[in-house]
Structure 1
Amino acid sequence: MTSRILINAVYEPIHELKVDVYLPTTPVKAGIIDIHGGGWFRGDKQKDADWATRLNDLGYLVFVPNYRYAPAVHYSTPLTDVETLVEWIGDQYALPTTQLAAVGGSAGGNMAVELALKYGMPAVSLSGILDIEQWLATHKDVVAKQGDTSLFNVTASASINQSGSDDQFYKWFVTNYFAEQSVANYHAATPSTRVTAETGPLYLANSLAEFVPSSGVLQMAAALTANQVPFTMRLLAGRRHAKGYLADVDADVVAFLQRNLPPA
């Protein structure tokens, strides 16, 4: 059981960026950064309290940050924010990157993968936004449209975007992530283009008929294979998105984390 939750610790004072810290009852050997989704334009750390509690109960020290997003900032500022968090964790909790993993769903899944690319830490991505450059190149005729997102910040993550593909909305929030919409930026933000042998092991999941195209998982699998980086890939039937299928992959995720980042 969770011994204590430190709410709203400030990890970046200039912009008052805050993180919730879930402290385990056992001695700390490993930590997990749990990154909320929201398409880089919505979302809040409180929406991942359920997943953070589950991970914390397994003995992990769990960090759930807020980060800046559009339209106030654009790519790659959210990634810079979580990198600042990694440094803060090292300073405050004496946990080096070798004792950290990252998990996230949707946009958070993308950011978890980015931490695996930068630091070599294990990462779990549920429906991560991974196909950016190629998808946009092959969907030039799609008209970007936001749609109704008014309740995103109060609706449970497992209930958002569960009805299947929506190319107009997908294109809207992906392009909305960039201050300058250019092929160069789309390429730079596509994780599979930057996989190396130093990338951390990955757990990649996606539904086959869901909101986020499974092409991103397949691109990552090819790049990881080429660089001999171990990974687990899980493709599920149906339309469920990210935390919508978390219960189905929970045992897999736990096994992956315990194999690559043993708790106390």
Structure 2
Amino acid sequence: MSLAGKVVIVTGASSGIGATTAEEFAKQGSKVVLTGRNEANLKATEAACKAANSKVELLLITADVTTDAEKIIKTTIEKFGQLDVLVNNAGFGEMGAILDIEVDQFDRVMNTNLRSVFLLTKYAAPHLIKTQGNIVNVSSIAGLRSFPSASVYCTSKAALDQFTRCIALDLASKNVRVNAVNPGTIVTDFQRRIGLSEEDYAKLLEHSKTTHALGRVGQPKEVADVIIFLASDSSSFITGATLPIDGGKHAMCPR
């Protein structure tokens, strides 16, 4: 995959897709920068990366992407001297219909899912131009399809998809590629963090057998493998793409 020795930032590396993606980059021999707000969870990801590759070079940055974007990029360059791949994975969701959701909820979701990506991209771009690196944004099926009581989250991810395409055009002449992955339902703690009880989460996983054409939900590694592909030279002629990793959910229509 030509990722050995590449310097990779993975935001939201403390759990779920981010943690698994960091581990997969470690297996490739990349130098991995792990960022997240939960230091204990970051250390767990660090341990998993070292178990995957005992020689891996890691940098842990406990940070909040909404306030520490410049710090994340600056600290990475101070440590490794370059940046080859930025994986904007950190994400946040809050549910609520328009009659119920509050402005501060809107702001929190947009700050994490869109504004932080803008800032990280802006600060990272000059360094990615030097290395002719690339960006992979972790979006969602919610950016491609509409769901009730999820207007803010869906809008943030749709905006991220458009941002991905626009920045891909901005940086194409510099030979910097920008792509996004759009996962469907993946087995992580994300749904629990947005308020689903264990009972409701179990119901969601069972219902997802009917909403994903392949008849099941996805696993974090299935997303991480595509992120690795998009970050590598194997996808050298792909930019501005938003790739669903959703078992065919984006192609389905309710009956």
TM-score, scaled relative to structure 2: 0.41
Structure with the largest fraction of strand? 1
TM-score, scaled relative to structure 1: 0.40
Structure with the largest fraction of helix? 2
